[in-house]
Structure 1
Amino acid sequence: MSTPFTFNRALDPDSTLYLPDGLTSINLPTMATSDPFSPPVVLFGYEASTFTLKVRLALRIKQIPYTFITVPSMLPRPLLTETFNLTYRRIPILAIGRELYCDTSLIVEALEHFFPEAEGYQTLYPDAADGRDYRPMIRGFASYWTDRPLFRATTGLIPASVWRTPFGEDRAELIGHKLDPDKLEKKLPENLARLDLQLSMLEPLFSHQGEGPWIFSTKAPSLADISVYYQLSWGSDIAAGRLINNLTGGGTSDTETEGATAVFNAQRYPGVFTWYKTLQRYFENLPSTEDTDPAFATVLEQIRNSPALGKKSLLLPTPRSSHAELDRKCGLIEGAMVSVAPDDTGRADPTVGTLVALSPEEVVMKPKQLERKAEVEVRVHFPRLGFVVRPVGGAKL
């Protein structure tokens, strides 16, 4: 038996949902009234990008005003290379002023740091009902589960027509080996079974909701909720063929098939499905803070005129500073030329530049000039988790 509830700040008359007994309302965050951190926030991505969706959801929960700039789903991306001399090929990229953040694991931490709860923004790491801070567990949950094995399960549901377009050739270069569309098509049932396995492992998370509907029993949705939701939302759409026209840059047409509904439904996994629909309505009731595709020249001027972060504020806070001796032994000293590349896909396209700062979790570099000087000088931030940082040439600049 479930109790009907209405969101405390519903924006439409159809916001009634059904939740387990004992829960009658959910509070939604409000946009911060003051913002002492003034640089513009700009997200570079495209509609069908899995991880772009993850960041958009984080920005929406935190109610951070930002600009969305569309870039192609495939290389080349002159807007990024010519504007910033950025050769990193994965999406999304988030600009906070003249600081560029790569990989969602670091982007989320940057948003949490620069737009904190103390200044009126919703945190992505709310305390749990038992009072504990599950931030390290939530970060690991996202990085080592949803962003990797669950992501592999959902990407395995991409229709074979996608791989028969130039997008398939682009992603073969990213992955590092050829993709056979016919073989991938035959593997779709096997990959759907992999999603079923993931849902089976997730279902027990939602068997005890007396203290609220959210993962880890937090007081509000956390990064853990975002991480599972964006994968299931994107996976459901892509499996049905709803995003494939955008994903392939017009290389194939959208479809509307059964997709993942054979395993992702209310009868087979009622806990996951109820939570999913609850969070879906939560997002729908949040005001949008996104300004979509304005004139890029205006945005570029805002980025160019942004105040530069000082050396002490370049790195996100960590429990300990960089281990200077270990970094020196690895050749990672300030001013060295270094390369940064993911440790999985995209290893053949490292980003090269001058090392500016380093912590146990983050590396900051000034990108190497390409054929033409960048229109705006920026610093690029990468996480060390999931990336390999190595010196190039060994000489200090």
Structure 2
Amino acid sequence: MSRPLVVLYGYESSTFTWKTRHVLRLKQIPYTFVTVPTMMPRPILRDNFNLTYRKIPVLTIGSKDLYCDTSIISEALEHFFPQSEGFQSLYPATQDGRTYRSLIRGFASYWTDRPLFRTTTGLMPASIWRSSFGQDRAQLIGHKLDPDKLEKKLPENLSRLDLQLSLFEPLFAETDGPWLFSTKTPSLADISIYYQLLWGEHISSGRYSNHISEGEIQNDAPGEIMSEVFNAERYPAVVTWYHRIRAYFDELPSTEKQLDIEQVLDEMKRSPALGPKSLLLPTPRSAHAELSAKTGLKEGALVSVVPDDTGRDDPTIGTLLAISPEEVVIRPQALEEPATLETRIHFPRIGFVVRPVPQPSL
């Protein structure tokens, strides 16, 4: 059976690109990686897919389905590349035979992807915030950033990391097995902590300053500042697990190849589409028809989708194709030029606000 093409669009120093790369590697899904700029604009996404969404990564499956945000990217990969077809699960059974999929999803979305991410981001060298990258992220956040003030907050942010590690330590000390929640193999929960700590070590040490600033910062080596709190003496269970999962991923073969966008577009045109039955990921219940009607979220409506934290000034506008309690799918509104490929853009409803676009009165 021909499998749909999987393409990840991101950049090397992107936190959440690291997350999805680890998901793909754990599941051993073959995929193509396309590098996009660390800062706006990103013509690869805007021109080819009419995508105005600012955050990275995004992922396409097949010839027309594009997924935004790592929470729904992970769910789509788990659904279309299931354990029953030989792919490793992000939600393996625990030692007692249970799975904790909903708990692990919430753990990632509401803990590691938010407060832990804000903590590791706070360890970035101030030189990054003084570069064009800092200006770009100020636009994303919606207010100016003061690099000097952020630099002075480093001890405070290290203290916040210490808090996070203090919360993690009992989870690893008390687990019945090598992995979080006593699963038989690493789960999305393990990935969710690992990618943040690994990225935090790299970015705080200055190893990605040149890349993330697109060459503006030539040399930036503040040292291994995370080790002040992230060390085996202070948090032995976390550090032991950290070395274990790092070795686990090092032993997994890479499933990534890299192509330029023109090659990818040609492959996408030949790739099988997911089909109408795959428009929405499975959920326990379908959309609540009465609430959808009251909120104006009916199929065919023109809607706006924005994150509920940052990037709210860059809505994605399009025609609502389908909606569930957990997902919204739109056909993006045409921009100045038609998109190279017709796409269906999928967003999670966790972390996003979906509203109808007011129409002018006649």
Q: TM-score, normalised by structure 2?
A: 0.97
Residue equivalent to 1:357: 322
Q: Show the counterpart of 2:109.
A: 143
| Equivalence map 1:202-241=2 (5 Å) | 202-209=168-175, 211-241=176-206
Deviation of 1:37 after TM superposition, in Å, equals 5.4
The Cα RMSD (Å) is 1.1
Q: Aligned to 2:277, which of 302, 312, 330?
A: 312
1:63 — aligned with what?
Answer: 28
CA distance in 2, matches of 1:265, 1:254: 26
Q: 1:110 aligns with which of 73, 76, 82?
A: 76
Select 2:309's aligned residue among 330, 344, 348: 344
Separation of aligned partners in 1, 2:261 and 2:139:
29
Q: 2:53 aligns with which of 84, 88, 111?
A: 88
Question: Which one-letter code corresponds to 2:339 in the other structure?
Answer: A
Distance 1:270 1:133, change over 3 A: same
Following superposition, the deviation at residue 255 of structure 1 comes to: 3.2
Q: How far did residue 277 of structure 1 move?
A: 0.3
Identify the residue that residue 155 of structure 2 maps to in structure 1: 189
Counterpart residue type for residue 56 of structure 2: I
Question: Which one-letter code corresponds to 1:138 in the other structure?
Answer: I
Match runs of 1:1-397 below 5 Å: 36=1, 38-97=3-62, 98-209=64-175, 211-256=176-221, 257-292=223-258, 294-394=259-359
2: CA distance, partners of 1:166 / 1:222:
36
User: Cα offset for 1:304?
Assistant: 2.0
Q: CA deviation at 1:254?
A: 4.5
Report which stretch shifted further, 126-135 or 113-122.
126-135
Displacement of 1:208:
2.7
Q: Please give the per-residue CA displacement for 1:85-125, whole angstroms capped at 9, x wherever unaligned.
A: 11001000000011000000000000000000000000000
Structure 2: which amino acid aligns with 1:76? Answer: P
Shift of 1:249: 1.1
Amino acid at match of 1:100: L
Kindly indicate whether the alpha-carbon contact (under 8 Å) linking 2:61 and 2:274 is maintained by their aligned counterparts in 1.
Answer: no
- Count matched residues: 358
1:40 is matched by which residue type in structure 2? L
Letter in 2 for 1:41: V
* Offset from partner CA, 1:25-78 (integer Å, 9 cap, x none): xxxxxxxxxxx4521100000000000000000000000000000000100001
Is contact 2:201–2:224 with CA below 8 Å preserved after alignment? no
Check whether the contact 2:34–2:260 (CA below 8 A) recurs between aligned residues.
no
Contact 1:160 1:181 in 2 (8 A): yes
Cα offset for 1:309? Answer: 3.0
Deviating beyond 4 angstroms after TM superposition, the runs of 4 or more aligned structure 1 residues are: none
For the structure 1 residues 254 and 61, does the alpha-carbon distance in structure 2 shift closer, same or farther, using more than 3 Å as the test?
A: farther
Cα distance per residue 1:234-278 (max 9 Å; x no partner) = 011111111111111112135331221100111110000000000
Q: CA deviation at 1:152?
A: 0.7
Partner AA of 1:329 in structure 2 = K
Match of 1:25 in 2: none
**CA shift digits 1:336-377 (9 cap, x unpaired):** 110000000001100000110000000000000000000111
Could you say which structure has the higher helix fraction?
Answer: 2
Instruction: Report the residue type matching 2:306 in the other structure.
Output: A
Distance 2:269 2:301 in 1: 25
Inter-CA distance 254–275: structure 2 relative to 1 (3 Å threshold): farther
Aligned partners of 2:44 and 2:261 also within 8 Å = no
Percent of matched pairs sharing the same residue: 66
Paired residue secondary structure (2:345): strand
Q: Which runs of 5+ in 1 are unaligned?
A: 1-35
Contact 2:4 2:274 in 1 (8 A): no
Distance 2:2 2:201 in 1: 37
Q: For residues 37 and 188 of structure 1, do their structure 2 counterparts lie closer, same or farther at Cα, with a shift above 3 Å needed?
A: farther
Distance 2:294 2:276 in 1: 23
CA deviations over 1:154-193 (Å, ceiling 9, x no partner): 0000100001111000000000110000000000111011
TM-score, length-scaled by structure 1? 0.89
Query: What secondary structure, in the 3-state scheme, does the structure 1 residue paired with 2:336 have?
Result: coil
